[in-house]
Structure 1
Amino acid sequence: MSTTRAGVFDHTVQTANIWVHDVAEQFATDDRHFAYRVLRAWLHAMRDRLTVQASAHFAAQLPELVRGIYYEGWNPSHVPEKYGLREYVTRFAREAGISDKDVPKAASAVAVVMARHLTPGLLDKTLEQLPPPIQDLVDPWPRS
């Protein structure tokens, strides 16, 4: 068994890096730590608001490493958490390390990346399971 190359992980790491890069690009920043925090906050806030079945269906579309981030710290016996817009914003801001006022831009920016990488329609189907005020906040293409 060769230990000189971790080739089996190369694709997984590369794919996760692409997702983090795409989030950073939405903010016109090179700060990958910031992009990672925002992506992680988005994933966790979404995950905990969904049912176990919806959460698993959504996660199945994520690349392996991003799926690991998604499930990190998840307790399926405590979902879905029934929180509203104010709690969503507070939770997202705290986990991302941003101010509450920056959450709408951050949530929408990550949703744009999600829509780009996921199977067409999956993000819309997932967002439909959220209360309308959270849907409106997260929607990458708000309806006016």
Structure 2
Amino acid sequence: MVDTGFSSFDTMVDKANRLLKDVEEAFGWPKERRKQSYAALRAVLHPLRDRLPVETAVQFGAQLPTIVRGVYYDGWKPAEAPVKMSNEEFLARVRSEFPYAVEGGTERLVRTVLQTLALHVSAGEWEHLKSRIPNSLAALLP
């Protein structure tokens, strides 16, 4: 547990670290690859957020741990949402934002991160998310 001297901040950092640890465990990565788990999370969150209608993006963002929510909203332009993209374009965007070698391919990266995210949001919000994106992308969600 982190000790910032402010218990609310400690809780926020711990929740973000728990999510990153879950990503690492899903990939079988050691803790020393924390930057890579963060990059994977960010690389998937941004195109997902941009593809969603604004209301759905906001509802989903509200479910994320506070620090991860900041990452999610970083650079967002809601006036340009939703960004239309095919499954291939979505995967290409994820790949372009992930600066590491992709073990098992970009689709595996996306699926693994999304499976981990599903553990950190409510089941109802996850189902709502799946219902609001095109079927080709919904197929990537657990």
How high is the TM-score relative to the length of structure 1? 0.87
Partners of 1:42 and 1:110 within 8 A in 2:
yes
Deviation for aligned residue 1:47:
0.3
Q: Which runs of 5+ in 2 are unaligned?
A: none
User: Post-superposition shift, 1:124?
Assistant: 2.5
Contact 1:16 1:66 in 2 (8 A): yes
- Aligned letter for 1:126? L
* 18-27 or 91-100, larger mean C-alpha shift: 91-100
- Structure 1 match to 2:22: 22
Which of 96, 103, 107 is the equivalent residue of 2:98?
96
- The number of residue pairs the alignment matches comes to 136
Q: Percent identity?
A: 34
- What RMSD over aligned residues (CA atoms) do the two structures have, in Å? 1.7
1:67 is aligned to: 69
Distance 1:100-1:73 versus aligned 2 partners, 3 A rule: farther
Q: In the alignment, what sits opposite 2:88?
A: 86
Determine helix, strand or coil for the equivalent of 2:116: helix
| 1:68/1:34 CA distance change after superposition, 3 Å | same
Gaps of 5+ in 1: none
| Residue 41 (1) aligns with residue 48 (2) | no
Provide the C-alpha distance between the structure 1 equivalents of 2:86 and 2:119, rounded to a whole number of angstroms.
Answer: 26
Distance in 2 of aligned mates of 1:124 and 1:88: 20
Is the aligned partner of 1:106 residue 2:109? yes
Q: Which AA in structure 1 matches 2:73? A: Y
Alignment TM-score, normalising by the size of structure 2: 0.88
Q: Indicate the larger mover: 14-23 or 112-121.
A: 112-121
Q: Structure 2 counterpart of 1:110, which letter? A: V
Higher alpha-carbon Rg: 1
Q: What is the identity, as a one-letter code, of the residue corresponding to 1:102?
A: G
